[in-house]
Amino acid sequence: MKASSRKVKPDLHDPALYFNRELSQLDFNFRVLAQAQDPSIPLLERLRYLCISCTNLDEFFEIRAGSLQHAEHLGLQPGPDGRSHATVLQQIHERAAELVKAQYANFDTELRPALHAEGIRLLQRTQWSPEQTEWLRKYFREQIMPVLSPIALDPSHPFPRILNKALNVVVVLRGRDAFGRQGHLAIVRAPRSLSRIIQIPDLAGEGGQSFVFLSSVLSEFVDELFPGLKVKGAYQFRVTRNSELIVDEEEVDNLAHALRDELIGRGYLKAVRLELAESCPPEIERFLLQNFELTENAVYRISGPVNLNRVVQVYDLIRDRPDLKFQPMIPRQMEEESMFRRVAAGDVLLHHPFDAFTPVLDLIREAADDPDVLAIKQTLYRTGKDSAIVDQLIRAARNGKDVTVVVELRARFDEEANLGLADRMQEAGVQVVYGVVGFKTHAKMLLIVRREGKNLRRYAHLGTGNYHSGTARAYTDFGLITCNKDIGEDVSRAFQQISGLASAIKLKRILLSPFTLHSGLLERIERETVHARKGKPAHVIAKMNALNEPDVVRALYTASQAGVKIDLIVRGACALRPGMPGVSERIRVRSILGRFLEHHRVWYFANGGAPEVWLSSADWMGRNLFRRIEVAFPIRDPDLAKRVVAEGLAAYLADNRDAWQLDSDGRWRRVHRRKGTQARSAQVSLLTAMQATEESQ
């Protein structure tokens, strides 16, 4: 009997086909750091990229490492990659240690010397002149010392509560104080009210600008806090704590009150990382680890200031060196006219930051004053403390409009700001809804109901990014303003679903998680698979921040096996392993890092020759597809769809300057342009097109 020659289908649940989500996210910060290492980028921008990689690492430990520790404690099952939580935590420590070493090497051997050559001096203690030392001593006595409260550690003063990410100095003392107490150890915490970067006047008339770290000043003059005692050593340290708030919404009567209570204690949750001066003695390290209940795997020895990310203040303090920063950008502005009239004539597509965010503000501002506007409904996830949108919503309510705002109180690290905004709006008569129990409201939706003659017309804005004018200048995002009847009705029903109590409402055009977005996405990937098997055009192009949802990954693997060409542009974590023989050899994964944070989510499906283009607020992650309220919406105008593909996908696939490609071994490698080919940067080309448009008007 002949052995079967049928090819065995690969097991798409095989852990070997998946990268670990956390390690993939950690690797993103190496790509950010590469921007700081790139000599073609303006010097102060390189410094800013270094600081971004540091703050990203802080957040990684606060959220991802903290959640892993929690999962390990609860005995939860590992992810699709099959690695135990303990294994991942160990690998995080090893990889993060490499990143920290590279960050400080970049600062010490590249950026600090280059800045010094430009007259921007970030001085170490050994570089202070006698005049600078005396000026800093006086500054310490007059500006710093009065707000310090050193705590000696003894039986009546046990180890204090140390705030998350606060700068501290542990001081080793010898001798007896005025009360006869034997000196041993003391903790000096730098209050958050103190600037971490101090500018020194030009005492020697040498020009340029000089700065020192607060941590250096504390270490140099800490002896003045302990008169009569001998300071044997002073060592900086900084602890990072789990910052993921956990509120059992079903067990609380008032989510806002419960969150306020949780925020009070956020800074003192379980420790996950200890940054420590490299010179700190082993016995002090053991003492700190014991008090923070950490193991040696949580320690990161630092050769330099433990709060390196605070050097970003220098970027803002240097105002007279435009040559060391990116050229200022003025986004395209639309001609002034009624937004209602403009949108009634056809859909409006905005591509931020190349297009100004002003039309969205103008739409809400016009609606607030228009006597024919009856109601405004909006979701707010992140909007900033001083939000012009919130001001207009309040004005609309005071003008008699029915204003309903869905405020997501659990937007990570914006909880306190959103609580304040909710209070302001409620006081003005805005109806504030806190979303749905167990689901974050991450969708970006605005709906305006306007009476026009005998009929009511709905105007909707849907976007991939937040209603935040600041991020609209720094993040790439698309927004659509439309009065399409079907989409307007869908958005109205979506708000009804969020704010009311009802079974899942059927929608005509848009996809809404946690109801139809996941299944709608899988249907479209599977449709491409069917088209490929029939020999019809089959191509998936998708841009997003992260990809890890197993069902989606498996659907993409199946599509690749069927012959579908798949191009993925993933900024951060990607669990999908491309280029695996028999599984994913038709899948390419790339990442773009440039001047702006890549943030839009764009989907293209060839659909057998009748292409579909979609925009969404959701990444292809489990939390977005199952545990958040998200929206995906089609771009039905053919000209606008072509523009989305050209600007949001094709430009990024053609990028050979700011692009990285993910290999099957999990390594991200820079995309190098072939010899003789022209350098192409998606962001630069979009900026150039924007400037050309402005000049022609």
What burial letters (b/e) apply to 232-265, b meaning 16+ CB within 10 Å? ebbbbbbbbbbbebeeebeeeeebbebbeebeee
Residues 176, 307 within the same domain: yes
Which DSSP state fits 298? Answer: G
Provide the 3-class DSSP secondary structure of residue 377.
strand
Structurally, the chain folds into a number of domains equal to 3
Single-letter amino acid, residue 349 = L
Locate 253 and state its tokens: 């009567």
Confirm whether 566 is domain-assigned: yes
Residues 290, 206 within the same domain: yes
Q: For residue 660, list its beta bridge partners.
A: 591, 670
pLDDT at residue 409 greater than cutoff 90:
no
How many CB atoms are located within 10 Å of the residue 295 CB?
A: 11
Q: Mean pLDDT across the stretch 284-292?
A: 94
Confirm whether 251 is domain-assigned: yes
Query: Where a domain ends, among 446, 479, 509?
Result: 509
* CATH number, domain with residue 60: 3.30.1840.10
pLDDT at residue 2 greater than cutoff 60:
no
Mean pLDDT of the chain: 91
Which range has the worst mean pLDDT, 407-411, 618-622, 648-652? 407-411
Which range has the worst mean pLDDT, 251-265, 396-410, 556-570? 251-265
Stronger pLDDT, 413 or 390, i.e. the higher one: 390
* 392 φ/ψ angles, rounded to the nearest 5 degrees: -70, -35
Rounded Cα gap, residues 165 and 49, in angstroms? 20
* CATH number, domain with residue 673: 3.30.870.10
Q: What is the pLDDT of residue 28?
A: 97
Residues 278, 378 within the same domain: no
Q: What is the pLDDT of residue 70?
A: 80
How sure is the predictor about 381, in pLDDT bands with cuts at 50, 70 and 90?
confident
Q: What is the pLDDT of residue 528?
A: 98
Rounded Cα gap, residues 274 and 294, in angstroms? 8
Locate 459 and state its tokens: 């105007």
- Would you name the residues annotated as active-site residues? 442
Confirm whether 563 is domain-assigned: yes
Rounded Cα gap, residues 630 and 619, in angstroms? 9
Confirm whether 7 is domain-assigned: no
Q: Mean pLDDT across the stretch 306-316?
A: 93
- 179 Cβ neighbours under 8 A, 6+ residues apart: none
Percent of the chain with pLDDT over 70: 92
Confirm whether 11 is domain-assigned: no
pLDDT at residue 697 greater than cutoff 60:
no
Residues 172, 318 within the same domain: yes
Q: What is the pLDDT of residue 589?
A: 98
Residues 536, 447 within the same domain: no
Q: Answer yes or no: are the C-beta atoms of 273 and 240 closer than 8 Å.
A: yes
Single-letter amino acid, residue 403 = V
Residues 476, 592 within the same domain: no
How sure is the predictor about 412, in pLDDT bands with cuts at 50, 70 and 90?
low
Q: Mean pLDDT across the stretch 607-617?
A: 97
Which range has the worst mean pLDDT, 50-54, 244-248, 302-306, 319-323? 244-248
Confirm whether 1 is domain-assigned: no
How sure is the predictor about 294, in pLDDT bands with cuts at 50, 70 and 90?
very high
pLDDT at residue 653 greater than cutoff 90:
yes
Task: For residue range 439-457, list pLDDT tens digits in order.
Answer: 889 999 999 999 999 999 9
* Global model pTM greater than 0.85: yes
* 268 φ/ψ angles, rounded to the nearest 5 degrees: -130, 25
Query: Where a domain ends, among 487, 509, 531?
Result: 509
* 331 φ/ψ angles, rounded to the nearest 5 degrees: -65, 160
Q: What is the pLDDT of residue 363?
A: 97
Residues 435, 516 within the same domain: no
Query: Where a domain ends, among 486, 509, 532?
Result: 509
Residues 416, 534 within the same domain: no
Q: Answer yes or no: are the C-beta atoms of 56 and 29 closer than 8 Å.
A: yes
Confirm whether 334 is domain-assigned: no
Q: What is the pLDDT of residue 282?
A: 94
Percent of the chain with pLDDT over 90: 75
Residues 221, 366 within the same domain: no
pLDDT at residue 228 greater than cutoff 70:
yes
Residue length of the chain: 697
Q: What is the pLDDT of residue 245?
A: 52
Rounded Cα gap, residues 47 and 51, in angstroms? 6
Which range has the worst mean pLDDT, 320-324, 338-342, 415-419? 415-419
Q: What is the pLDDT of residue 250?
A: 45
Residues 109, 163 within the same domain: yes
Task: For residue range 88-110, list pLDDT tens digits in order.
Answer: 999 999 999 999 999 999 999 99
Helix extents (H) in 170-234: 214-221
Confirm whether 410 is domain-assigned: yes
Rounded Cα gap, residues 443 and 26, in angstroms? 26
Which range has the worst mean pLDDT, 107-121, 402-416, 508-522? 402-416
Residues 276, 376 within the same domain: no
| Residues spanned by the domain of 194 | 16-324
Helix extents (H) in 408-501: 415-427, 485-499
Q: Answer yes or no: are the C-beta atoms of 379 and 441 closer than 8 Å.
A: yes
Rounded Cα gap, residues 167 and 458, in angstroms? 52
pLDDT at residue 136 greater than cutoff 80:
yes
Q: Answer yes or no: are the C-beta atoms of 608 and 537 closer than 8 Å.
A: yes
Residues 177, 216 within the same domain: yes
